[in-house]
Structure 1
Amino acid sequence: MADHVGQQLGNYRLVKLLGRGGFAEVYLAEHTRLGMKAAIKLLHTHLSSDETSTFQREARTIAELKHAHIVRVLDYDVQESTPFLVLDYASNGSLRQKHPSGRRLPLDLVVDYVNQIAGALLYAHERKIIHRDVKPENILLDEEGRLLLSDFGIATIAHSTSSMSTEAAIGTLAYMAPEQIQGKPRPASDQYALAVMVYHWLTGLLPFSGSSAELIAQHLGATVPSLCTKLPELPEEVEQVVLTALSKDPQQRFGSVQAFARALAAAQVSPAAFTEEQTIQVSKQALEAPTRQANPAAVAPTRANARDPHLLPSLRRWPKHKGMLDPLLTGDA
């Protein structure tokens, strides 16, 4: 594959290749007059005139996303039939680089990450935009360590400007919800992908692994391995929240990605259980750990969450809190 370092796209000169993915290459670029740095995402496709119009329409929609936890699109264009996006440059890399596979993260850090990502996703979902490829590689860090969700719509743009079937799955299989595998993504698909990341961060292992065919079969039909079996000190309430967000049926997940984030924060009943990042050895025994079926979501009731319409059914189902919910609902607590 050609390296485009030194090439000029619009007002930007490509300085350094930062990475390659299935849909695009990313370059560090410099504005030829202003000297400002940016990231250029060069898509792996050549467009016809009709496809150029589609790209510009999709890119304009993404560029309109303005949120504290979403990477800004500064510009977009097509040069010699090749589409590209100009993005804010996040100099601190991605969460994949910060936390390599096999690392367990402290629960309080995971809750903080989920709150930030969920805010960005909810903002997009309210505007009828589904990310479709939520994964650690697409979550960047700014100079203050704030999370920035990137690649909104990149997979969709590549899909819509190619000869792929409109029902083809878009995204990364390890994080892909069952309905997305079947070509029917929805906002709950992003919630599922975020829950896969939470599972990975907490246990150091992905819930499912194997070949593409094996991953598809597991996402569609296999029981999610128990988190508490891999991590006995994890509060059971946290496990139930994660397993709810990983439900095969999107209707059985939380009503919104924000409701998932709130439920996870509410279930954080024992933050001292593990507070330092740990490195683990991934063994065959760990991968084959016993599984158990998820019960209805377990969420500890608080005044803040008791009135949340998305959390209320889960709160009512959790027997440990029977008798505790009424004061929260009536405001007497």
Structure 2
Amino acid sequence: MNNLFPNNIPQLMQVLEDWEYSRLKGEKLPLEYFTNQCPEYSEQIRRCITMLEDMDWLMEPVPISRYANIVDANSSLNSNFEQEYNACCKEFGYQLIEPIGYGGSGQIWKAEGLGGMPVAIKIISLDNKLSMKEIRALDLFKTIRHPHLLSIFGFWFKNNKLWIASELADNNLYEIHQSYLDRGDSGIPFSLLIKYFAEAAEAIDFLNLQKHRLLSGLDSFVQHGDIKLHNLLMAGNSIKLGDFGLARCIGPETNNHSGYFTTAYAPPEYFEGKTFPASDQYSLAISYVRLRAGAFPFSDKPSEVIASARFRTPDLSKIPSSERPHLEKALARNPRERWPDCKSFVRALKHCAT
């Protein structure tokens, strides 16, 4: 993996952009079509495209309203669909209410548990390549508890699907930010933003820096592996870190990882086949910049992210100057040069307002 990036970055980027354009048009061109454009880097191109294909299902969850023309609540097809799902849930003490999102990881439904307790039910086909990652994550998180981690209540297998019952969040930081913009504000006020990120930092440090006893009996540090705005959830008045499907056990340095990050939030070491405890911190910093500046500090185009990950410099021009050094440290290319923990990083940002 260390030779993933050739020196001729513009040439590689052009090939990856051609691949991305063909994918968006729905064309199914063979891999050789792209490797033949630059034969001297055919192996790097093959690995980059494979990585992009693996990341393709890491789309953001889409609200059910986007599917109004596909899923008609009054249709007999959807009625049968709900009856089947409700039968699977009632057996385990849950009543489905309504679908609230779709994404590469499956479907999410609002439901009720015993005593009318609101819960979220995530449904993943066992044919989905993500299902084994979700099952592995359940070993990590079924026994881990923290005030700022979304709680998992239980899971079961039925009709070739994995069903996960968890705490129901109200919304996520992306949606909260959008609600402020819709009202004509510039975004989440700084005091609230820092509060939310301080709570997220607590949860990330809890996972990254403390050993946890897993269901398997092993003790291990844990990496979330997919910190992003859509996984920073609001439940009540506090942030809860959610969606643990990409979480994994880690050491001081993990080589040949089998996990994924969402491309726009992925640290450069990920593209070299490594992850560190500070990899989640990098993604948290990307999330902060996205809200504070209104844009990502790098291009979020997958082909450009992969091609330039080792060389890119963050654009922090829309961030207040007093905050930039702290963000530059959290976004350091070398993970060993980042903050020792996420709480120190967010604390430094908070002091910029005092």
TM normalised by structure 2 equals 0.63
Which amino acid counterpart does residue 79 of structure 1 have in structure 2? K
CA distance in 2, matches of 1:30, 1:107: 35
SS at match of 2:346: helix
Match of 2:314 in 1: 224
AA aligned to 1:147 is I
* Equivalent-residue separation in structure 1 for 2:174 and 2:127 (angstroms): 29
| DSSP-derived class of the 1:155 partner | coil
Does residue 254 of structure 1 match 2:331? no
Which residue identity lines up with residue 306 of structure 2 in the other structure?
Answer: I
Q: Aligned residue for 2:246?
A: 155
Q: 1:93 to 1:5 in 2, by over 3 A?
A: farther
1:238, 1:268 within 8 Å by CA — same for their partners in 2?
A: no
The answer to whether the aligner puts 1:88 opposite 2:167 as a matched pair is: yes
Determine the C-alpha separation between the residues in 2 that align with 1:171 and 1:42. Answer: 21
Cα RMSD, aligned residues only = 2.7
Alignment coverage as a number of residue pairs: 249
Give yes or no for contact 2:264–2:300 (8 Å, CA) kept in 1.
no
Distance 1:224 1:141, change over 3 A: same
Q: 1 CA distance for matches of 2:294 and 2:94?
A: 39
Q: Within 2, Cα distance between the matches of 1:108 and 1:16?
A: 34
The residue correspondences of 1:38-77 to structure 2 (distance < 5 A) are: 38-46=119-127, 58-77=137-156
User: Does 2:220 align with 1:120?
Assistant: no
Deviation at 1:258, TM superposition (A): 1.9
Which runs of structure 2 are paired with 1:1-333 in the superposition (5 Å)? Answer: 4-6=81-83, 7=85, 8-9=88-89, 10-31=92-113, 34-46=115-127, 58-90=137-169, 92-100=170-178, 103-125=186-208, 126-127=210-211, 128-143=221-236, 145-152=237-244, 154-156=245-247, 167-168=257-258, 170-225=260-315, 227=316, 229-231=317-319, 234=320, 236-269=321-354
- Quote the offset at 1:61 in angstroms: 2.2
For 1:179 and 1:263, locate their aligned partners in 2 and report how far apart those are by CA, in whole Å: 24
Q: Is the 8 A contact 1:130 1:190 kept in 2?
A: yes
The Cα shift of 1:156 comes to: 4.5
SS of residue in 2 equivalent to 1:129: strand
Amino acid paired to 2:325:
Q
Structure 1 CA distance for aligned equivalents of residues 191 and 134 of structure 2: 40
- Residue by residue, what CA displacement relative to the aligned partner does 1:61-96 show, whole Å, maximum 9, x if unpaired? 212121111110000122123212110112x21111
Measure how far apart 1:199 and its partner are: 0.9
1:41 shift after superposition: 1.2
Larger helix proportion, structure 1 or 2?
A: 2
Alpha carbons of 1:192 and 1:133: their partners in 2 closer, same or farther (altered >3 Å)?
Answer: same
Name the SS for the 1:75 alignment partner: strand
Task: Report the AA paired with residue 141 of structure 1.
Answer: M
Structure 1 distance, partners of 2:240, 2:300, is 29
Deviations 1:183-227 (A, max 9, x none): 3222211100110011112111111225311122343321111x2
Tell me the CA shift for residue 99 of structure 1.
0.8
Output the CA distance in 2 between the equivalents of 1:133 and 1:74: 21
Aligned residue type for 1:61: L
Q: CA deviation at 1:131?
A: 0.6
Overall identity of the aligned pairs, in %: 26
Residues 108 and 138 of structure 1, relative CA distance in 2, 3 Å threshold? same
In structure 1, give the amino acid aligned to 2:326.
Answer: V
Aligned-partner Cα distance in 2 for 1:179–1:141:
29
Corresponding residue SS for 1:39:
strand
The one-letter code matched in structure 1 to 2:193 is V
Distance 2:189 2:325 in 1: 18
**Is 1:191–1:245's contact at 8 Å kept on the other side of the alignment?**
yes
Structure 2 unaligned regions, length at least 5: 1-69, 72-77, 212-220, 249-255
Given that 1:168 and 1:182 are in contact with CA atoms closer than 8 Å, whether structure 2 keeps it comes out as no
- Indicate conservation of the 8 Å contact 2:176/2:188, yes or no: no
Contact 1:177 1:193 (8 Å CA) reproduced:
yes
Q: Is the 8 A contact 1:47 1:83 kept in 2?
A: no
Q: TM-score, normalised by structure 1?
A: 0.67
